[in-house]
Amino acid sequence: MQAQIYKTSHLSGHLEPPSSKNYTTRYMLVSGMADGDSILRMPAHSDDSAAMRHCLTNVGVRFEDGLDDFGKFVRISGVAGEPSNPGIINPRNAGAVLRFLMGVGAKFDEVRFETDFSESLGKRPHGDLLESLNQLGVKTSSNNGKLPIVLRGGGLRGGRIWVSGANSSQYLSSLLFLAPLIGEDVEIEVRDGLVSKPLIKTTLEVMKNAGIKVDFSNDLLHFSIHCGQKYSAGEYIVNGDYPSVAAIFAAGSVVGGEFTVGRLFLDSQGEQAVLPLLEKMGCKVERSGSQVRFGSAQNLEAVEFDGDKATDAVLALIAASAFAEGESRFYGIENLRLKECDRITVPVNELQKLGVDCREDKDEIIVRGNPNGYKGGVAVETYHDHRVAQMLTIVGLGCHDGLTILNAENVNKSYPDFFSDLISLGANIKLE
C-alpha cells in the first residue's frame, strides 16, 4: 500500500486512541499462563497483538471474542503454567512477542523459533537472552544469536542469574515472566545498565495484577521471585496507547489546530513524556481526567530530550523538531539501532531526502529545524518499521508538495487506524 500525504493546514475534532499493544501482549501472556479464564477488555488490535494471540493459541491457550454492555472483550482460557509444545513458534515480525515466548519456550524439551520477516526480525539480536536462558539450564542454538533459534529446555532450574540490559529491556521482561513457571526461587541481576525502564515497570505492573509478587531494587537492577507463585486469572482493562497518539500529537504540532484525545490514563507508559516535551516546544496541553486537549504552537522551539525515557515516541518527536526553530538533540537512543530497522540511520537518510538538516551520532540524532517546511514531492521507504512510517507521515503533512510513502501498511504493526484517524481530524491523505 502507498500513502499519498498532502500538505495539511489544520487538525480538529476528537478521537479515541488505540489500546496499548505493550499492555495487551503482556496481559495476553499472563492470562495464557494462568489457571482459569481471564477477561481482557479493550485489547489492542494490531499485528503485534495478533502475533501474540496466534503464538499462544499454538501452545494451548484458548481465545474467545465477546461483546457485553461494557463493550468488546476477549476471554482467555489459560494453561495453568503448562503450555503444550507446538514444535515451531513463528512470531512474525513481533520482537517483544518472540522474546517473551522464548521464556515460555524454555519449558519445552525442544522448540524452534523462526520468522517470515528475515530482513527485519530475522536481523535482530537475541544473544543476551540466550545467555541468560543458558544459566537456567536451557541449551540453545542459533544463527549467531539471531533467528532461527532452537531451545532445548524442560529441566529448568532457579538460582541466581544475570542478564544484560544494554540493548533491550525485553530480555529482562522475558525472564521475569518465566520465573514463576520454574518452581524454584529466581534472582536476576541486570548488568551493563538498563534501557527502556518504563517498559519494565509495565511488566511488573501486569505481573502484580496477575498475582505475582516480585521484589526489586529501586534502580530496577536486582529482582527476586520466590517459588510457589502461580499466575491467577483476572479481568483487565487496557488503557490507550501513548506511543501511538504521540504521532498524532506530533502531527498536530506540525500542522496546527486543536483537538482532543480520550482514554489517556496516567500509567507506567514512558511515552507520556511526549506531552510535557511538546509543551516545552510551545504547544498547549490541558488534561481533564483521561482526556487531553491539544493545541498547536505559534512557533515550535527546539529541544533536547533523553529518548530512552520514551523510546517508541522518539521518531514522532524528531518529525516535530524538523519544523522547530533551532537545533534539537535526541540522545540516549543507541538501542533504537536494534528495532525493526536501524532507527537512527534510516530516519536520518529518509529525512535528508526531504531536505531536512539532520545528522546522526552513535547514540543521538540532531535536527536543525525549518519552520517554513519542506518541498517534498518524493517517495520514501518505511523499511518494515511502523514508527518510520508514522514519522514520515508527520513530516509529509508539512511538505508543500507532499510525499509518497511506500509500504505504508507497516503502520498496522501497532496502529492500523493511524491514517484513518488522521483523516478524521482533517489530514489530507489518500491511500492506494
- What's the mean per-residue pLDDT of the chain? 97
From 209, 237, 265, the end of a domain falls on 237
Contact 199, 169 (CB under 8 A): yes
- Shared-domain flag, residues 311 and 163: no
- Shared-domain flag, residues 175 and 255: no
- In the chain, the number of structural domains is 2
Percentage of the chain exceeding pLDDT 70: 100
Q: Write down the pLDDT at residue 70.
A: 87
Model-wide pTM > 0.85: yes
- Shared-domain flag, residues 98 and 190: yes
pLDDT by residue (tens digit) across 284-338? 999 999 999 999 999 999 999 999 999 999 999 999 999 999 999 999 999 999 9
- Shared-domain flag, residues 212 and 316: no
Is a pLDDT exceeding 90 seen at residue 71?
A: no
Q: Which domain holds residue 188?
A: 21-237
The arithmetic mean of pLDDT across residues 227-239, rounded, is 97
Which residue is it, cell 519552520?
A: 371
Is a pLDDT exceeding 90 seen at residue 237?
A: yes
- Shared-domain flag, residues 109 and 218: yes
- Shared-domain flag, residues 318 and 371: yes
Question: Which residues have a catalytic role annotated?
Answer: 312
From 208, 237, 266, the end of a domain falls on 237
Is a pLDDT exceeding 90 seen at residue 226?
A: yes
For position 159, which CATH number holds?
3.65.10.10
Is a pLDDT exceeding 90 seen at residue 362?
A: no
CB atoms within 10 A of CB 226: 16
pLDDT by residue (tens digit) across 253-292? 999 999 999 999 999 999 999 999 999 999 999 999 999 9
- Shared-domain flag, residues 302 and 422: yes
The arithmetic mean of pLDDT across residues 118-143, rounded, is 96
Q: Which of 374, 346, 344, 401 is nearest to 254 (CA)?
A: 374
- Shared-domain flag, residues 161 and 251: no
Q: Write down the pLDDT at residue 216.
A: 98
Q: Which of 292, 364, 358 is nearest to 319 (CA)?
A: 358
- Shared-domain flag, residues 224 and 251: no
From 237, 253, 281, the end of a domain falls on 237
Sheet of strand 62-68: strand arrangement: 62-68, 71-77, 37-41, 235-237
Contact 241, 247 (CB under 8 A): no
Q: What angle do CA 52, 55, 61 make, to 5 degrees?
A: 95
Q: How confident is the model at residue 154 (pLDDT cuts 50, 70, 90)?
A: confident
Instruction: Identify each DSSP E strand in 200-354 by its residue range.
Output: 215-216, 222-225, 235-237, 257-261, 284-288, 291-295, 304-306, 327-331
- Shared-domain flag, residues 207 and 272: no
pLDDT by residue (tens digit) across 195-212? 999 999 999 999 999 999
